[in-house]
């Protein structure tokens, strides 16, 4: 990944969190709902980020567009971006 794309990604902070089985079950439900929009969000960290975006909009009385949230989370994920860049390089070459 080149430096310009790396600079545009949000800064990541590593934290350890503890989730219950119920939390994970709820995350699975969020993944199922968001996958209906056509976006597949498979990793726990992406799902948690999506849940934070949805909760933030909810408590601030904003409308929540699941497609917009899904696209934002996928777009800001560095690993996803690097995979997309590699794929586009292979297709171009």
- pLDDT, residue 86, reads 62
Q: Per-domain residue ranges for the chain? A: 19-92
pLDDT tens for the 93 residues of the chain, in order: 455 555 677 788 888 889 899 998 988 888 888 888 777 777 888 888 889 989 999 999 999 888 888 888 888 776 665 565 566 666 666
pTM comes to: 0.65
Q: In sequence order, what are the residues at sequence separation of 6 or more whose Cβ sits closer than 8 angstroms to the Cβ of residue 53?
A: 69, 72, 73
As to burial, measured by CB atoms within 10 angstroms (0-12 exposed, 13-18 middle, 19+ buried), residue 47 is buried
Query: What's the confidence (pLDDT) of residue 37?
Result: 77
Which among 59, 71, 80, 63 has a CA at the least distance from the CA of 5? 80
What was the pLDDT predicted at 43? Answer: 83
């Amino acid at each position: 990944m080149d430096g310009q794309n790396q600079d545009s990604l949000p800064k990541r902070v590593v934290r350890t969190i503890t989730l219950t089985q119920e939390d994970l079950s709820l995350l699975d439900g969020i993944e199922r709902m968001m996958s209906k929009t056509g976006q597949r969000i498979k990793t726990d960290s992406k799902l948690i980020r999506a849940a934070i975006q949805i909760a933030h909009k909810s408590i601030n009385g904003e409308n929540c567009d699941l497609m917009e949230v899904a696209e934002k989370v996928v777009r800001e994920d560095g690993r996803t971006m690097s995979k997309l860049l590699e794929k586009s390089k292979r297709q171009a070459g």
